[in-house]
Chains A and B, each alone.
Chain A
Amino acid sequence: MQADLAGPVVRSLAFVIDFSIRCLAMFIIMIAALLLGGNVGWAVWLLFYFLVEWWYPVLFETFRGGQTPGKKAMGITVVNDDLTPVTLGGSLIRNLLRAADFLPSFYTFGLISMTMHPQFQRLGDIAAGTLVIHKAAETSAPSLPDTTPAPPPFELHESEQTAVVELSLRHESLTDSRQQELAAIVAETMGKKPDSALNYLRSIGAWLLGSR
C-alpha cells in the first residue's frame, strides 16, 4: 500500500477550518451561557470549552475515518503509520500533545517538526505513531476515446501500462498535437507508423482498462 504524506501547508489550512468551527461553536455556547447567567453559566461554558477543545478532533478522527471537518475539506486523513485506521488511543495522544506542538507560541515547534520530519510528523504524531496522508479524491468515471480495444503487442511493465492508460484517460486535457508527439515516441517500438500510433495506443489503453 502506498500513500502521499500531507505537508504543513495543507494541514495548516485544515487546522484553520477546524479552529474556525470550534470558535463558532464556543461563541454560540457563550451566548447560551450568558442567557443562563451568573457563575453557573460560566461553569457550563468552561465545561463545554474543555470538551470542544480536546474532544472535537478526537471524536471526529476516531469515528469519522480519521477526518475532522477541516481535514475532510482539504482531502487529508489521519492514519496509523502502517496505514491502518487511527484508533481512539492514537488520536487521543496526538491531540493531547498539541500542547507540546504549540510551544513556545502559535505551534512553532509543531510547524518546524512537521516541515523537517521526513514523514511530515509533528511531535504529537511522532508520539502516537500516526501519519496524515492525502486521501485520493473520488473521481467520476472519465470519458474514453472511441476505439476498438486491442491487446498490447508484447508484455508491458506496470509503469508502461500506466503511461498508456494515462494517454487514453487524458485525451481531453492533452492537446492533440502533443498526444501525436507522445505516441510517435513509441511508434517504431510498437511497429506502427507515427500517425497511426496514437489510435493504436488508445486501443491498447481501452484494452488495459478492461474493455474487450
Chain B
Amino acid sequence: MQLSEFKAIARPRSEWQAIDLGIVMARAWYFKLLVAWAVPAVLVYSVLLLFFWDSTWISIFIIWWCKPLWERPILFIASRQLFDEQVSPRQVVRQYLSMIKTDWFLWLSLRRFSIYRAFDMPVTLLEGLKGKERQKRLGLLHRRFSSGASWLLITLFHIEGFLLFGFLTGLYFLLPQGVELNWNELVTEQETLSSHLYNTFWVLTMALIAPFYVCCGFFLYLQRRIDLEGWDIEINFRQLAKRRSSAGGGRPRLAVIGLGLAVLMGVLDTNIAYAQDESAFPSAQTRAKADIQAVLEGEDFRRIETEEGWRFKDKQDEEEATIPDWLIEFAEWLDKHGGFFSALADFFRSGASILEFLLWISFISIVIYVLYRYRQQLRQFMGSDRDQGHLDVEPPEVLFGLDVTKDSLPKDVIAAAQSQWQSGQQRQAIGILLRSSIIKLIHDHRCPFQEGHTELECAQIVNQAGLVDPSGGDIQKIAGYFQALTRQWLSIAYAHKDCQQEQFQSLCEGWTEAFRHA
C-alpha cells in the first residue's frame, strides 16, 4: 500500500461524509463493481433455478444469504483502484476462489447477522486477521463510526426494498393502456412465473445497491484508519520532505509534483481524483514499475535452489485455521456423492421443518452458551456436595487487596502484629492477623475461598464449610474467632474506627488459641 498513490483526499471527516465519499467512489468505477457482483451471483442463481424451479424462494434466499461472498470482489477491486492500481477482469477471476475462501463459513453463519458487515469486511479480506486479533482490531475500529456503519446497512436495506417496489410499479405504469392485468390469475394460477419475475428484479436491485454498500463501508473503514494513523499528516509530510530535498532536483520531478497539485485542485469538488493522461506525463509510478521489472528480471532474482529432507509441519498454523479440515472434507464428500442437494431440497421444502430446525439450533446454542458462561459457578455447585471438589479450585493469591500466598506469612504472626501495633499501624496489625488466618484456613483447613469473595462471604464460608482439621483444633472456636476478627477488620479498614488496646490483645490471644497447633 503506497499512501502517495491514495486517490482520495485524506483529511478528518464525519461518518456521514465518509459514507458520501464511498458513494462517489462506487460511482467512479460503478460498471466494473456491478459486473464483479452480478456475474458470479447471476451464474449461481441460474444454476439454482434449474434445481429449484418450483420452490421459487430457495434460490433467491441462497443468493441473498451469500451476499457477503458476492461482495468480496467489489472490495478487492475498490481497494486496489483506490491506490491507483488498475484491476483487470482476468486478475479478479484468477483470485476469485482465494478471496471467497477466507473465513467463508463464519461470514455465512455467525457474521451474516452482523450489522457492520461492510465496515468489518476489510479486516478479514485486506488485513487477513482472524480470531482474537480480529476481535481486538474491530474493537479499536468500532470505537467511532460503528453507528454510521449500522445506519448504513439499515438505510440501504430499506432503499433496496423501496427500489424494488419502485421498479415493479414503474413496470406496471409502462404497460400500454388496454392491457388488463388479471392480478388474481397472476398471483394464484401463474404463481411460479410471477414470483420468478419478482425475484429477478430483486437480484437486479441487490446488484445495483451492492457496490454502494461495499464502498461506503470500505470508506468508513479507511476513514477510521486515516484518523487513527494520521494518513493526511503522513502524505503532506512526505510531500514536504520531498519538496525541500529536491529544491533544485531537475525538471521531471517538478513536473510530477505540478501534476500532483493539479490533481489535488481538480479534485476539490468531486472529492476523487481520476487518472490523468499518462502519455503526456509518464508518471513516477510507471517509470518505477519499469525499473522494478528490470531488477526483477536480473540475475539476482533468478536463483533456484532445491532442498530436500524431512521436517515437521508447522502444526500451529493448522490449528489456527477456523474451519477444520474434516468439515471441508465432509462437505466435499457430501457434494461428490450426490443426493445431498436433493436431500437438502426435500428438507427445505417444508417451511415448518426449517423453522423447527432453526429453533432447535438456537435452543442448543443457548444451552451451550449458558453452560459455558456459568461454568465456574456450575463447577462450584457440583463440587459443594463433595469436599474434594474444593481441591479443583486454585487457592487465590489476593483477597480483597491482601496478599494471601503462603510465602507472605511472617514467621511469628503475633510478634509481627504486635510490632505494627506498637508503631501505631492499627490497620496493618489487624491485617496481618486476618491475612494469616485466611492463609491458615486455605492451606490447613481447605476453605474454598475464591478471588472476588468479600470478607463477609469468606466468613460465611468458614461458618458453613465442614472444616477439615488435620490436627484436631476446635472447629467451632476457629469459626467464632474468624467472625470476630472479620468484624474488627471491617470496622477498622472501611469505617476507620479505632480499635481498643484490649480488643487487639484479645484478638491476638484468640489467634494463638484458634491456630495453636501450627
B240 touches A9 (CB 8 A): no
CB interface residues, A 144-175, toward B, < 8 Å: 154, 156-157, 159-160, 162-163, 166-167, 170, 173-174
A170 x B230 contact (CB < 8 A): yes
Q: Which residues of A contact B268 (CB under 8 A)?
A: 2
C-alpha gap A158/B12 in the complex (Å): 16
Contact with A along B148-161 (1 / 0, CB 8 A): 00011001101100
- A35-43, A47-55, A92-100, A181-189 - interface stretch: A181-189
State whether the Cβ of B234 lies closer than 8 Å to any Cβ in chain A. yes
A179 to chain B: which residues have CB within 8 Å?
A: 230
Q: How many whole Å from B346's CB to the nearest CB in chain A?
A: 38
Compute how far the CA of A24 lies from the CA of B232 in the bound complex, rounded to whole angstroms: 44
Instruction: Kindly list chain B residues whose C-beta atoms are within 8 Å of the C-beta of A159.
Output: 236, 239, 264
> Do the beta carbons of B230 and A178 come within 8 Å of each other?
yes
- Tell me whether A23 is interfacial, beta carbon within 8 Å: no
Are B166 and A185 interface neighbours, CB within 8 A?
Answer: no
> Considering the chains assembled together, what is the distance between the CA atoms of A167 and B155 in angstroms?
35
Among B156, B166, B236, the residue within 8 A (CB) of A108 is B166
In the complex, what residue of chain A is closest to B235 when comparing beta carbons? A163
Nearest chain-B residue to A118 (Cβ)? B270
- The answer to whether B159 touches A12, judged by C-beta atoms less than 8 angstroms apart, is yes
| Complex alpha-carbon distance, A200 and B158, angstroms | 51
Interchain nearest-CB distance for B183 vs A (Å): 17
**Given A105-B169, A108-B167, A166-B12, also A9-B241 (CB < 8 A):** no
Return the chain B residue nearest A161 by Cβ: B236
* Known contacts A115-B212, A134-B14, then 15 further A-B pairs from the complex at CB < 8 Å, ordered by chain A residue: A2-B268, A9-B151, A104-B166, A105-B169, A107-B166, A159-B239, A163-B233, A166-B230, A170-B227, A170-B233, A173-B228, A182-B237, A186-B241, A189-B240, A189-B241
Q: Would you call A173 and B17 a contact (CB within 8 A)?
A: no
**What is the number of residues of chain B that contact chain A, defined by CB distance less than 8 Å?**
47
Within 8 A of A (CB), among B8-42: 12-14, 16-17, 19-20, 23-24, 27
A159 and B261 alpha carbons, distance in the complex (Å): 11
Q: Do the beta carbons of B162 and A107 come within 8 Å of each other?
A: yes
Q: Nearest Cβ distance between residue B121 and chain A, in whole angstroms? A: 18
Within 8 A of B (CB), among A1-39: 2, 4-10, 12-13
Tell me if B155 and A12 are in contact (CB < 8 A): yes
Q: How far is the CB of A74 from chain B (nearest CB, A)?
A: 7
Closest to A6 in B: B20
- Residues of chain B in range 139-175 having any CB-CB distance to chain A below 8 Å: 151-152, 155-156, 158-159, 162-163, 165-167, 169-170, 173
- In contact, B230 and A167 (Cβ under 8 angstroms): yes
Q: Does B245 contact A (CB under 8 A)?
A: yes
CA distance A173 to B212 in the complex (A): 29
Please report the C-alpha to C-alpha distance between residue A178 and residue B237 in the assembled complex, in whole angstroms: 13
Complex A-B, nearest 10 residue pairs according to Cβ-Cβ distance, in ascending order: A108-B166, A163-B236, A7-B20, A106-B162, A10-B16, A104-B170, A185-B237, A105-B169, A104-B169, A189-B244
Q: Are A105 and B165 in contact (CB under 8 A)?
A: yes
Q: Check A127 for interface membership: any CB of B closer than 8 A.
A: no
Contact assessment for B236 and A162 in the assembled complex, using a CB-CB cutoff below 8 Å: yes
Residues of A within 8 A of B167 (CB): 108
Contact indicator A137/B245 (Cβ below 8 Å): no
**Given A6-B20, A115-B27, A189 and B245 contact (CB-CB distance below 8 Å):** yes
Interface SS of B by simple majority: helix
A75 within 8 A of B: yes
Asked whether, in the complex, the Cβ of A111 is within 8 Å of the Cβ of B163, the reply is yes
Contacts of A120 in B (CB 8 A): 20, 23
List 29 A-B pairs, Cβ < 8 Å: A6-B16, A7-B20, A10-B19, A12-B155, A74-B16, A75-B14, A104-B166, A105-B162, A105-B165, A105-B166, A105-B170, A108-B162, A108-B167, A115-B23, A115-B212, A116-B27, A120-B23, A157-B243, A159-B236, A159-B264, A160-B236, A160-B240, A163-B232, A163-B240, A170-B227, A182-B237, A186-B237, A186-B240, A188-B245
In the assembled complex, how far is the CB of residue A177 from the closest CB belonging to chain B, in whole angstroms?
11
Bound form: Cα–Cα A26–B158 in Å: 24
Question: Given the interface contacts A4-B17, A6-B16, A116-B27, does A156 sit within 8 Å of B240 by beta carbon?
Answer: yes
Q: Are B233 and A182 in contact (CB under 8 A)?
A: yes
Mark contacts of B222-233 with chain A using CB atoms, 8 A cut-off: 1 yes-contact digit, 0 otherwise.
Answer: 000001111011
Task: Write the nearest CB–CB distance from B13 to chain A, whole angstroms.
Answer: 8
By beta carbon, the residue of chain B nearest A201 is B237
The chain A residue sitting closest to B163, CB to CB, is A108
Q: CB of B216 within 8 A of chain A?
A: yes
Shortest Cβ distance from A115 into B: residue: B23
Q: How far is it, in angstroms, between the C-alpha of A156 and the C-alpha of B237 when the chains are bound?
A: 11
Cβ-defined contact, A9 with B169, below 8 A: no
Q: Does B238 sit within 8 A of A, measured CB to CB?
A: yes
Q: CA–CA, A76 to B233, complex, Å?
A: 27
Q: List B414-442 residues whose CB lies under 8 Å from chain A.
A: none
In the complex, the answer to whether A9 meets B234 with C-beta atoms within 8 Å is no
In angstroms, Cα B173 to Cα A166, docked, is: 54
Q: Which residue on chain B has the smallest CB distance to residue A137?
A: B14
Chain B residues with Cβ below 8 Å from A134 are: 14, 16-17, 20
The residues of A that contact B232 with a CB separation of less than 8 Å are 162-163, 166
In angstroms, Cα B22 to Cα A115, docked, is: 11
Partner among B155, B239, B270 whose Cβ is within 8 Å of the Cβ of A160: B239
Scan residues 182-213 of chain B and give those whose CB is less than 8 A from a CB of chain A: 212
Contact of A5 among B20, B151, B155, B240 (CB under 8 A): B20
Report B-chain residues with C-beta under 8 Å of the C-beta of A170.
Answer: 12, 227, 230, 233
Distance of A12 from chain B, by nearest CB (Å): 5
A185-B234 CB under 8 A given contacts A7-B20, A12-B159, A106-B166: yes
Residues of chain A contacted by B235 (CB below 8 angstroms): 163
Q: Which residue of B lies closest to A102 (CB)?
A: B166
For B212, list chain A residues within 8 Å (CB): 115
